[in-house]
Amino acid sequence: MKKILCPSMMCADYGRLKEEIQALDEAGADIFHCDVMDGAFVPNITMGIIDIQIIRKYTKKPVDVHLMIENPADKVDWFIDAGADIVYIHPESERYVVKTLAHIKERGCAAGIAINPDTSIETVHEMLNLVDYVMVMTVNPGFAGQKFIEFTKNKIQQLIDEKKKYGFRVMIDGSCSPSVIQELSVMGVDGFILGTSALFGKQESYAQLMAKLR
């Protein structure tokens, strides 16, 4: 089955964002991945509403938002209205996670949860009934360019074993190098968030790099 390749737009060149979006689209990107950080839930601030609107304007491909923010229930509608097709929330950041996931789906979007390296599958098991995507963080959230955390592979395998029962897709976010993509694809992972480890800041074109990753 074709793997889902998702450029992480926080790594793009914002001086030429329109051209970046168009080049990634033409290179075969499946989903445009947007990291939204509030400086509270994670120690960084990145993309916002205007960024989502611009990406939405220049591609017909799905756009996801990964909300690394406190109390996402208060703000998910902002990002859906801006054009998001998929919304990920962190269970640790939300008091009523199931309610928020249900609301995302009621708005016609796909719902996802993002699982930090120190979050166990047992604590999110009830949520798997509602999600379309489960994104495993294989680095600590907040910054690009971190080292892959090896023990997260145990969690990934657990989710791969569960996905047939629940019907969600398993996504990986964090240090997705070509070798990591190859190994985890064989395990049964469905898709990968592509940052500086595999896509951005390289000599080759996006089209060449995406073709190699395929």
Active centre residues (catalytic): 35, 173
Could you count the other beta carbons within 10 Å of the beta carbon of residue 161? 11
Strand order of the β-sheet with 63-68 is 4-7, 191-194, 169-173, 133-137, 110-115, 86-89, 63-68, 32-37
Q: How far is the C-alpha of 149 from the C-alpha of 146, rounded, in Å?
A: 9
Q: How far apart are CA 159 and CA 42, in angstroms?
A: 24
